[in-house]
Structure 1
């Protein structure tokens, strides 16, 4: 069952639209621009990083900082962690 949930989560992240990301950022109390949302979702669609591996996830956020800026990467990381907590998925992330 864990692999099924991981596959679903990874697929959902790859399918995020900029509008989805903007919606989630507002829902969780911080703002990103449309351009930042586009940059983040573009990166997520092409990234091969295993989001369930802590080292690869941290590299992903560092890459996002290079593509966007450090503040946007920090916001993306905050949103990612909020979504993990909201859905009770902490146990899946090493």
Structure 2
């Protein structure tokens, strides 16, 4: 995978705003409160992680479950898998 694309994706995750996250949560029917969205965006900004590593993504989803609930984390993980497959980039995420 192209390292430039990897950096762009990671940069977007680090820069997502609370408002954007709330917009996406409504768009994809994943319930998130404003407070939870603030916690999630703060976590994404401060935490070093590799979203392309399944092991590190699972840590991310476990943290998401702590900030929200298990059902929300499961929905987010399912959506992640669906979107990566839909866009043909699922092979990038090992």
Shorter chain as denominator, the TM-score bin is 0.7 to 0.9
CA RMSD after TM alignment? 2.0
Per the normalisation by structure 2, the TM-score is 0.81
Structure 2: distance between partners of 1:66 and 1:85? 26
Q: Which runs of 4+ in 1 moved over 2 A?
A: 63-89
The number of equivalent residue pairs is: 94
The corresponding residue for 2:42 is 42
Q: Quote how far apart the aligned CAs of 1:86 are.
A: 5.2
**2: CA distance, partners of 1:88 / 1:46:** 29
- Offset at residue 87 of structure 1 (A): 4.2
Gap runs ≥5 in structure 1: none
